[in-house]
Amino acid sequence: MAFDEDFHLGMIRLYAEHWLPFSIRQVPEANVFGSVVTDPSYLFHYLMSFPYRILDGLGASETTVVITLRLMNVAMFAVALLLYRKLLLRIRVSRVVTNVVLALFVLIPVVPLLAGQINYDNVLLMLVPGSMLLALNVREGLRSRKVIRMHSLLALLLLLIFGTLVKYAFLPIAAGIFLIILYEIIRVVRHDKHWWQRLLMGLKSLSVRMKWLFGVLFIIAIILFGQKYGTNLVKYHDPVPDCGAVLTVEQCMPYGPWGRDYRYSQTADQREKKNAVAYTVIDWVPGMWRRLYFTIAGPTIGYDTQKPLPIVSIAGIVLVVGGALLLLRYGREIFHEYPVSWLFVIPSVFYIFAVWLQVYKLYQYTAWPVAINGRYVIPLLPLLGVIVALGYVKFARHIGAVKYAGIAVVIVLLLSLQGGGITTYIVRSQDTWFMPNSWMQDANGVLRDALKPALYEGGGWFSYRGGP
């Protein structure tokens, strides 16, 4: 149960005891999950509690429950891939580039591992392209000088609100998308004297049933949003208050991440702290990269981590660094040809900065590089990846090597298969990582023995085994 899956399953069980999401209480058994009464990232747990209730009511074993909920998460990930593909094609990226980007995306070792876990990140993976598709609908409607697409605008606002209740980390992405749409609206108001009539026509185009539906959903969204974020702001002056601001130290210590940070903080004065630049270059960037390509076990053996396989991880570095250099050269052309790329970039910048700021604050508190996880940026990788890919396309056209692009793609894919997808997990995993089932352990052992001769495992610096 990697990536805090035991936490998510525990929260699902906790919400399964209540019919309404805001009736949850801070019972002693809930302390292991932190301050559940103030945690705004609860919608995934609450909704997943209903299939859990059905399975539990049918007397299903824990193994059956876990596998069923995992398969539901795999389905969410599959839907997310379809949404990303639709989004990239929507902005006129070629099918070839789109498919290559998504292929490389799923070959990042952590991506399929996360897809097979009970985790709200799989919902976030659907929210990001889903909200951007709606934002494109709204943008096109505003710029067409025709009827404003009110159904898309209202659906987008609802998705942004509900998304922040799935995971509070969606807030900066939602803010970026909202600001882009706000800019488009202001642009229309300034240049279109008939925008008011277009707005009224858009409202009239909604059927009575749709108006009632949107009205009810907005009431629910506002109540749920205000019940968590509003209460937290009023009571604790923080939309996502720290566990220590809500509960006592004794109550918070069973919550793993908080307890770890608190213990490190007690000896923080004994360690020298790096400045923001040094921390970013030495700890954050390499840590994010490693934790996109490493593999990890569950809590029963202390979240044992194993090193990345070298070829796939180095190939990732080369692609990103080379793409970044090409963007310096061709970035203006790309954004001129694909102006809606800013819809990808602005929310991504907001989100990455928020993620960095949060962990840097933790570093200042603990004097230790904790909570650095590459999976946090997974929802952005298809979006940023396609911009990088367009840089390579521009470069190939500039040097007249388009006819060799297919060969280059095949080479990159072959290199990515050297540890890509689930192969890193199979090769690096130990029998103790799996459920105590001899058939499962034997099956993984056979796969491991079959793959090892075909994969270069490296050594030296690649003996890195993770961190806190």
Say how far apart CA 227 and CA 400 lie, in whole Å.
58
Strands 295-296 and 305-306: antiparallel
Helix/strand/coil for 306:
strand
- Compute the Cα dihedral for 273, 290, 45, 62 and give only its sign: negative
Q: What integer pLDDT is reported at residue 464 of this predicted model?
A: 40
Q: Which two tokens stand for residue 413?
A: 């894919």
How many alpha carbons fall within 13 Å on the CB side of residue 99?
6
Spell out the alpha helix ranges (H) of 247-341: 249-252, 256-265, 276-278, 285-293, 310-337
Residues contacting 275, CB < 8 A, separation 6+: none
Residue 266 three-state SS: coil
Provide block-wise average pLDDT over 10 residues at a time, the chain (468 residues): 89 95 91 95 97 96 95 98 97 95 96 95 97 94 77 94 96 97 87 75 85 94 95 95 95 94 94 95 95 88 88 94 94 92 95 96 95 94 96 92 90 94 91 84 90 82 42
pTM more than 0.85 = yes
Matching residue, tokens 């960037």: 285
Which residues pair with residue 305 across a beta bridge? 296
Instruction: Mention every residue, 6+ apart, whose C-beta is less than 8 A from residue 229.
Output: 40, 164, 239
Contact present, 311 and 415 (Cβ < 8 Å): yes
| Measured distance CA(316)–CA(287) in Å, rounded | 14
- Nearest Cα residue to 203 out of 137, 266, 281, 150: 150
Asked whether the beta carbons of 294 and 305 are under 8 A apart, the reply is yes
Query: CB atoms < 10 A from the CB of 267, how many?
Result: 11
- Rounded to 10 deg, the angle between the 43-57 and 150-166 helix axes is 70
- The pLDDT of residue 459 is 62
| Residue type (1 letter), 393 | V
From residue 327, give the alpha-carbon distance in Å to each of 44, 263, 347: 37, 43, 18
Q: Which residue, among 287, 306, 303, has the nearest Cα to 458 in the 3D structure?
A: 306
Q: Do residues 195 and 159 lie in contact, with contact meaning Cβ atoms separated by under 8 Å?
A: no
Q: Which pLDDT belongs to residue 147?
A: 66
- Segment (H or E) for 305: strand 305-306
Do 156 and 131 form a contact (C-beta atoms < 8 A)?
A: yes
Tokens standing for residue 423: 């192969």
Phi-psi region at 436: left, alpha or beta (left = phi > 0; alpha = psi -120 to 50): beta
Task: Return the DSSP state at 307.
Answer: P
Q: Which of 201, 217, 191 lies closest to 150 in space, CA to CA? A: 201
Residue 128 sits at the vertex; the CA angle it makes with 125 and 131, to the nearest 5 degrees, is 135
Number of H helices, E strands in the chain: 22, 2
**CB of 294 within 8 A of CB of 466?**
yes
Judged by DSSP in three states, 295 sits in strand
Map tokens 């943008």 to a residue. 139
